[in-house]
Amino acid sequence: MGLSLNKLLASGNLVENPAVWIHLSKMSAFMKSINFLILTIFIFLVPEPAEGEKIYSCEKSNTVIGTVKTYRTKAGESLIEIARKFGLGYNEIVDANPAFDPFVPGNDVTVTIPSSWILPHVRTYEGIVINLSELRLYYFFKQKRTFKVMTFPIGTGSEGFDTPVGEFRVFEKIAGPAWYVPESIRKEKPDLPRVMPPGPDNPLGSHALRLSLKTILIHGTNKPWGVGRGVSHGCIRLYPEDIPKLFRLVTIGMRVTIVRQPVKMGIRKSNVYVEVHKDGETKDGDYYKEALSLLMKQDLRGNVSTGKLSRAIEKKQGMPVDISK
């Protein structure tokens, strides 16, 4: 007996239920359009984040979110495992702990958890903002008339397959995406099929968001170690546990702004903070120029210690540093 749309709607988990999309594919064209319209109304109403998800308030006068913490390692733990436990990418945990071996940091040692960030510099807090320099995605939304933000680590394009910067829109949402293997990849790996169906071997993971630049997707991954690195052919990867959360919240047409900001400047309780990330496209002298430019734009130069700023730029530890006088 076929699965009815009413039962699917009653399941309460439409977006993440592949049976919904299978059911739609078997309908007549007319019934498919009617039921798809009903389904779209349910799916794309702007939903609230689930209880327990980390949500931060954001305002122009207070642009530093989260808190830097410490953690004592357990036997056999790598920094890569610790990063995922705390919602961080490989780059963040390694840059914040340069003295430790990422794979064998040691047992019962204290590592820094850089779970604090300066919000990217954008025209408006709206939709998705991706900062390629820090390998992190921000999702902005309004809740009870105040701006809120959730943030996730990401993997991006590798050298020669750079993820483009610019303003885009979410064009399509795909649950259980099939991977249509590009010819360039099939030349590298001729054993790959032309189309890889959904499943544990699919590099797109469980969900995908296609952008208006249609060759670029925001998707999950079957290789979580790539989060926090430039390893893709231009797409943006999230941890398997993060992509369903973002997928549920995003709506068709939502703005996606992709920037490259190796230096960010922020304010918390009248103190000035800088966050500096290692970026292969930025020369050493340009970090300082960018920092000074941001201080001038925000009229903060008189409140800053140039010595603290220079040390923060030199270390490039990828987390907010107080540079106030």
How far, in Å, CA of 201 to CA of 209, rounded? 19
In this prediction, residue 188 carries a pLDDT of 75
In angstroms, what CA-CA distances link 157 with 135, 164, 207, 233, 241? 10, 9, 18, 5, 21
In this prediction, residue 59 carries a pLDDT of 83
Phi (first) and psi of residue 147, to 5 degrees: -80, 135
Strands (DSSP E) contained in the chain are 56-57, 64-66, 69-72, 110-113, 116-118, 127-131, 136-143, 146-153, 156-157, 166-175, 179-180, 195-196, 207-211, 217-219, 230-232, 236-237, 255-259, 263-268, 271-276, 321-322
In this prediction, residue 60 carries a pLDDT of 79
Residue type, 213: L
- Per residue in 199-212, pLDDT (tens digit) is 888 889 999 999 99
- Per residue in 122-139, pLDDT (tens digit) is 988 999 999 999 999 999
In this prediction, residue 158 carries a pLDDT of 73
How far, in Å, CA of 242 to CA of 256, rounded? 17
pLDDT higher than 90, residue 282 = no
The superfamily in CATH containing domain 69-114 is LysM domain (3.10.350.10)
CB atoms within 10 A of CB 110: 11
Local structure of residue 224 (DSSP, 8 states): G
In this prediction, residue 104 carries a pLDDT of 95
How far, in Å, CA of 181 to CA of 322, rounded? 46
How far, in Å, CA of 322 to CA of 268, rounded? 9
pLDDT higher than 50, residue 98 = yes
Of 23, 58, 207, 219, the catalytic one is 219
In this prediction, residue 47 carries a pLDDT of 56
Of 58, 121, 207, 235, the catalytic one is 235
pLDDT higher than 80, residue 224 = yes
Question: Which CATH class for the 118-259 domain?
Answer: mainly beta
Confidence of residue 49 (pLDDT cuts 50, 70, 90): low
Q: Is 23 a catalytic residue?
A: no
Q: Under a CB-based contact definition with an 8 Å cutoff, are residues 160 and 230 in contact?
A: no
- The separation between the first and the last C-alpha atoms of the chain, rounded to the nearest angstrom, is 72
In this prediction, residue 20 carries a pLDDT of 43
- Per residue in 168-192, pLDDT (tens digit) is 999 999 999 988 877 777 777 777 7
Instruction: Kindly report, as residue ranges, where domains of CATH 3.10.350.10 are found in the chain.
Output: 69-114
Confidence of residue 159 (pLDDT cuts 50, 70, 90): low
Residue among 227, 207, 225 nearest 217 (CA): 207
**Of all residues in the chain, what percent carry a pLDDT higher than 70?**
83
Q: Is 219 a catalytic residue?
A: yes
Instruction: Kindly report, as residue ranges, where domains of CATH 2.40.440.10 are found in the chain.
Output: 118-259
- Mean pLDDT over residues 69-81, rounded? 96
pLDDT higher than 70, residue 31 = no
Task: Please indicate whether residue 51 or residue 219 has the higher confidence score (pLDDT).
Answer: 219
In this prediction, residue 52 carries a pLDDT of 52
Q: What angle do CA 314, 317, 319 make, to 5 degrees?
A: 125
Task: Please indicate whether residue 303 or residue 114 has the higher confidence score (pLDDT).
Answer: 114
